[in-house]
Amino acid sequence: MRLRLFGRYSGIRNSGINPKGFHVSQLKFYAFLLPLAVFMLLPMIFIFSHAFKPPDELFAYPPRFFVTNPTFKNFSDLFSKMSNSGVPVSRYLFNSILVTLVTIAASIIVSSTAAYALSKKRFKLKKTLFAINTVALMFVPIAVTIPRFLIIDKLDLMNTFAVHILPGLAMPVGLFLIKQFIDGIPDEVIEAAQIDGATDLGIYWSIILPMIRPALATIAILTFQATWNNADTSALYVNSESLKTFAFYLSTLTSSTAGANAVAGQGIAAAASLIMFLPNLIIFVLLQSQVMSTMSHSGLK
């Protein structure tokens, strides 16, 4: 009976109903997914199109989605405005790159070590601490602005380089995703390593980190987006121009120009938005497979 059922199952599987490549039966899925994909691409297409619009198209009514006469004038105005800055633009760019890289590395270390402890170690209040982290997912950044300002002021971090990095290490979504990923690692693997004499640091470095690389890539993307696009830290906690970031510089540049010349300000703002968006797009395209693996794994958990 089992052989007969297995033969029937094999015949169905090999008959083309569940093909490995393209099959006509998949057209119904493409008919639904392709329009959805195009719809989700529209914001990115608009960012590119808007950055190359001449002034008459920027203020056209009704507004135009696609550019008809593309121009590089918005970028030339932006770069000329940068050249007139008192502080070199390279300084703001260097600050942003350094802050982003350090924050990504530190965030990965903090989130992964905390997730390993919450997932595989036994100690009191473990469930309570994870519940607090889960509750923290509900709070948007604007809701914790005042408590964060008071904490930074009490720690005497105002107008220091560390103020860009330390607040970014508290990333509840990062801890949540990595813990869900580590939960899928069998406890027997950890126990076998402990029997062989491996320390907690050795288990974390040699076993945990290689097995959670998709989750780490996802956290790197989320941290990059939050840090690279963050202009509030420079506005709220930093007074020295030499410590401010590229995102803050572009925001002040576009706002000051918009006040003096609304037409030029809109063009510069569109070009600046594209420049800030491109690194986010590039890093996501490079690591998108890792992100999909993390989200599917966390969903199964």
Helix, coil or strand: residue 275? helix
Q: What is the CATH number of domain 77-300?
A: 1.10.3720.10
**Domain segments of the chain: what residues?**
77-300
Which of 273, 263, 264, 256 lies closest to 59 in space, CA to CA? 263
Residue 115 contacts by C-beta under 8 Å, 6 or more apart in sequence? 175, 178, 179, 181, 182
Least confident of 151-160, 226-235, 280-289: 280-289
Q: What is the pLDDT of residues 170-215, one digit of tens each?
A: 889 999 989 988 998 899 999 999 999 999 999 999 999 998 988 8
Which of 162, 111, 151 lies closest to 133 in space, CA to CA? 111
Q: What is the pLDDT of residues 240-249, one digit of tens each?
A: 888 999 999 8
Greater confidence (11 vs 122) lies with 122
- Residue 260 binned pLDDT confidence (cut-offs 50, 70, 90): very low
Q: Which amino acid is at 36?
A: L
